[in-house]
């Protein structure tokens, strides 16, 4: 019977070939990406801590048993011990291992069958990296594969600790680190879509094109708007996070406090001995957050050795340190009437969050005038369906998002001539578009100037 079946198969193959029809070949399998501790494996002079996580993504599903025989780690005085974990329907493999200090390793994946469908890796693939000299981490290749850069930290809320998540190109809470090359930091705050991954990606692109990554920390905090499986983890309902309100979980913390905690870590002179500048920026709702955080935060006065800058990109409304606004018909100051909500926080200093308990309006306004704020304004004419054009407290600030930013700066020029530390930069042709703003030539020039 076996010989009969083989004969049938051979005859079928010959028939297909004679008719000009060839059997489908076994598809090759390709490596789509590979990272070492979040850094691209192709990076030159890649140096990592001894706790190593290698992530490789393939074009199709793997056969774990076959892959195990193809994957090797060479280097060191003794064979590397590692574990392999598969995810995404076995198209993604993660190898975790603890290696020796000051040692060069080469990871190899053999040219052989590794696919679940018999797919063959086209050719031998390998990459090399070196581990740190000792347990002190002085430098590291930044994480630029954005999906691998999520981190978390336990912060102290009013009733205990909770988890706060953020994306970062460096592990800023690494206990063994003394960063010798990180001189600046940029914190970019997402908008109402709660999409820190996107904003981290926009800014990573700008960092790479401007060669900022090697000496600048990039952080994109995640103000989660839904609870997780743990009731202690921090989240904020609706838009309370952009106003500095406490989180909605049982261990409450202000969104302003969460950023203060990140800044405290960046200001630790043991971990970050040469870091001297921090820029906080946000787009849309993130811009609203940045605008009021600029004046509200205690970090700037707490860390006088750090220079702080704030970049407010396309906010739809602004804080005013006065009851006056700009009359668009004549560009002059006026006091609105018939709109009692126009001075309610975050538009004015009424009903402020608990974070500002004990801070007077005069103190807050003095900080607002004194701090370095740049209004990044896109003048594009694209539709802006999220703009509030109904409530008087918003519409008296201006008829469009761009006009509201222009009017805010006009107000500062008229109300505080020669004494405020605020400026504006216009991004031509870009509307309400975070990617367009943060990857524009105008923003790149501004960031280059601010990071000097």
**From first to last of its 452 residues, what are the pLDDT tens digits of the chain?**
444 434 434 444 444 444 454 544 557 999 999 999 888 998 878 888 899 999 999 999 999 999 999 999 999 888 999 999 999 999 999 999 999 999 999 999 999 999 999 999 989 999 999 998 888 989 988 999 998 999 999 998 887 889 999 999 999 999 989 999 999 999 999 999 999 999 999 999 999 999 999 999 999 999 999 876 566 789 998 899 999 999 998 789 999 999 999 999 999 999 999 999 999 999 999 999 999 999 999 999 999 999 999 999 999 999 999 999 999 999 999 999 999 999 999 999 999 999 999 999 999 999 999 999 999 999 999 999 999 999 999 999 999 999 999 999 999 999 999 999 999 999 999 999 999 999 999 999 999 999 98
Strand, helix or coil at 396?
coil
Q: Are 314 and 437 in contact (CB under 8 A)?
A: yes
Q: How many residues does the chain have?
A: 452
- Nearest CA to 39 out of 148, 185, 196, 135 is that of 148
Instruction: For residue 209, give every residue at least 6 positions away whose Cβ sits within 8 Å of its Cβ, in sequence order, or none.
Output: 444
The residues spanned by each domain of the chain are: 28-131, 146-450
- Which pLDDT does position 358 carry in this prediction? 96
Q: Are 238 and 207 in contact (CB under 8 A)?
A: no
What dihedral angle (degrees, nearest 10) is formed by the CA atoms of 141, 203, 412, 192? -120
Contacts of 142 (CB under 8 A, 6+ apart): 39, 169, 170, 213, 214, 218
Q: What is the dihedral of CA 282, 284, 287, 291, to 10 degrees?
A: 180
Q: Residue written as tokens 């990071």?
A: 451
pTM to 2 decimals?
A: 0.81
What is the pLDDT, as a whole number, of residue 1? 44
Tell whether domain 146-450 is in CATH 3.40.50.300: no
Q: For residue 26, what pLDDT is reported? A: 59
The SS3 assignment for 265 reads helix
pLDDT of residue 6: 40
CATH class for the domain made up of 28-131: mainly beta
Q: Give 187's strand partners.
A: 219, 280
Q: What is the pLDDT of residue 229?
A: 59
- H or E segment to which residue 31 belongs: strand 31-36
Residue 391 phi, psi dihedral angles, 5° rounding: -80, 130
């Amino acid at each position: 019977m076996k010989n009969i079946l083989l004969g049938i198969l051979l005859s079928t193959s010959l028939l297909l070939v004679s008719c000009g029809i060839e059997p489908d070949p076994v598809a090759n399998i390709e490596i789509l990406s590979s990272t070492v501790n979040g850094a691209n494996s192709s990076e030159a002079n890649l140096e990592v801590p001894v706790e190593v996580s290698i992530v490789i993504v393939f074009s199709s599903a793997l056969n774990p048993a076959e892959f195990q025989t193809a994957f090797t780690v060479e280097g060191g005085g003794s064979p590397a011990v590692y574990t392999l974990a598969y995810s995404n329907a076995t198209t993604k493999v993660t190898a975790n291992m603890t290696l020796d200090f000051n040692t060069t390793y080469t990871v190899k994946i053999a040219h052989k069958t590794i696919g679940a469908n018999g797919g063959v890796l086209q050719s031998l693939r390998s990459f090399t990296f070196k581990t740190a000299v000792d347990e002190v981490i002085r430098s590291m290749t930044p994480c630029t594969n954005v999906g691998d850069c999520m981190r978390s930290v336990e912060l102290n809320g009013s009733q205990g600790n909770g988890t706060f998540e953020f994306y970062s190109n460096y592990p800023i809470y690494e206990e063994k680190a003394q960063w010798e090359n990180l001189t600046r930091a940029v914190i970019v705050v997402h908008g109402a879509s709660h999409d820190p991954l996107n904003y981290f990606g926009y800014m990573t692109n700008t960092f790479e094109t401007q060669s900022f990554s090697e000496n600048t920390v990039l952080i994109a905090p995640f103000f989660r708007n839904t609870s997780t499986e743990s009731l202690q983890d921090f989240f904020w309902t609706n838009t309370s996070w952009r106003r500095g309100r406490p989180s909605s979980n049982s261990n409450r913390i202000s969104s302003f406090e969460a950023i203060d905690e990140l800044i405290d870590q960046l200001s630790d002179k043991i971990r970050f001995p040469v870091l001297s500048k921090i820029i906080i920026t946000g787009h849309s709702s993130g811009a609203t957050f940045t605008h009021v955080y600029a004046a509200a935060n205690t970090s700037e006065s707490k860390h006088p050795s750090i220079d702080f800058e704030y970049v407010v990109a396309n906010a739809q409304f602004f804080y005013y340190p006065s009851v006056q606004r700009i009359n668009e018909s004549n560009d002059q100051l006026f006091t609105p009437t018939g709109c009692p909500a126009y001075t309610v926080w975050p538009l004015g200093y009424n009903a402020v969050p608990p974070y500002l308990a004990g801070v007077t309006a005069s103190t807050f306004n003095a900080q607002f005038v004194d701090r370095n704020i740049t209004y990044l304004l896109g003048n594009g004419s694209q539709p802006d369906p999220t703009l509030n054009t109904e409530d008087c407290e918003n519409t008296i600030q201006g008829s469009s998002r761009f006009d509201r930013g222009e009017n805010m700066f006009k107000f500062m020029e008229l109300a505080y001539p020669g004494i405020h530390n605020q400026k504006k930069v216009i991004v031509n042709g870009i509307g309400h578009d975070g990617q367009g703003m943060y990857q524009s030539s105008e923003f790149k020039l501004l960031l280059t100037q601010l990071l000097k």
